[in-house]
Amino acid sequence: MQSLSNRSKVVSDKPMTFMEKLYLPAILGGMWITFTHLFRKHNTLKYPEQTKAFAPVYRGMHVLKRDEQGRENCTACGLCAVACPAEAITMVANEREQGEEHLYREEKYAEIYEINMLRCIFCGLCEEACPKEAIFLTDRLVPTEYERADFIYGKDKLVESMDYRIDITDRQSTGKRTEK
């Protein structure tokens, strides 16, 4: 069969010659290889000082977006919870009262929205399923905790604050289903 990569070597088990049996040339050759590595560039990234840029499609901690006026996008339709293969998302819906228009964009909103980060597999299906562009996975990492309960993220951790908005413009699903 023809080799496609031209990198395969034909292996034979013919008896070793005297020079091969000595092993010393092979050992010295190996030591030369390691020696050349002394002068190579280090691959180390000094982590806390230097960080590596995330790929634009990286799927990290979720964010519940607000729109430009600071209203929550989520309407508690539950599609994300249905789409979630790990069943990590639960929510309780509520009706928007008079005078809450500056808080919630739609007439129905999620009173409780919880993601269990221990269950979540960060597949991004919730983001795909969301018709309101409310939930996105970001390039932030889920920090470690000591208690299991601390991994159940409520709205306090998920909804972005207006002072510190999370940039999701690089996400692939951004702007796909914008209602005009």
Partner 1 sequence: MLEKLILVGIIFTISLVIAMYATYFERKVAAWFQDRIGPDRAGPFGLLQPLADGVKMFLKEDFIPRNSDKWLFIMGPGIAMFTSLMTSTIIPWGPDIVTASGNIVLQVADFDIGILFILGVVSVGVYGIMIGGWASNNKFSLFGAIRASSQMISYELAMGISVITIVMMTGSLSLRDITEAQHGMNWNIFYQPLAFVIFFVCSLAELNRAPFDLAECESELIGGYHTEYGSMKLGFFLFAEYVGMFISSAVISILFFGGYNFPGMDSVEGNTLAVLGVVALFVKIFFFIFVIMWIRWTLPRFRFDQLMHLGWKRLIPLALINLLVTGLVIAFTSGWFN
Which positions lie near partner 1, rule CB under 8 A?
Answer: 24, 27, 30-31, 33-35, 37-38, 40-44, 46
Asked if 95 contacts 108 with a C-beta cutoff of 8 angstroms, the reply is: yes
Closer to partner 1 at the Cβ: 39 or 164? 39
Q: What is the DSSP letter of 95?
A: E
Minimum CB–partner distance for residue 8 and partner 1 (Å):
23
Closer to partner 1 at the Cβ: 4 or 33? 33
Minimum CB–partner distance for residue 43 and partner 1 (Å):
5
Minimum CB–partner distance for residue 145 and partner 1 (Å):
25
Minimum CB–partner distance for residue 15 and partner 1 (Å):
17
Closer to partner 1 at the Cβ: 31 or 162? 31
Closer to partner 1 at the Cβ: 29 or 99? 29
Strand partners of residue 57 = none
Per-residue b/e over 114-147, b at no fewer than 16 CB within 10 Å?
Answer: bbbbeebebebbbbebbebbbbbbbbeebeeeee
What's the CA gap between 83 and 20, in Å, rounded? 62
Closer to partner 1 at the Cβ: 42 or 180? 42
Minimum CB–partner distance for residue 34 and partner 1 (Å):
4
Nearest-10 Cα torsion for 81, 83, 87, 89: -30
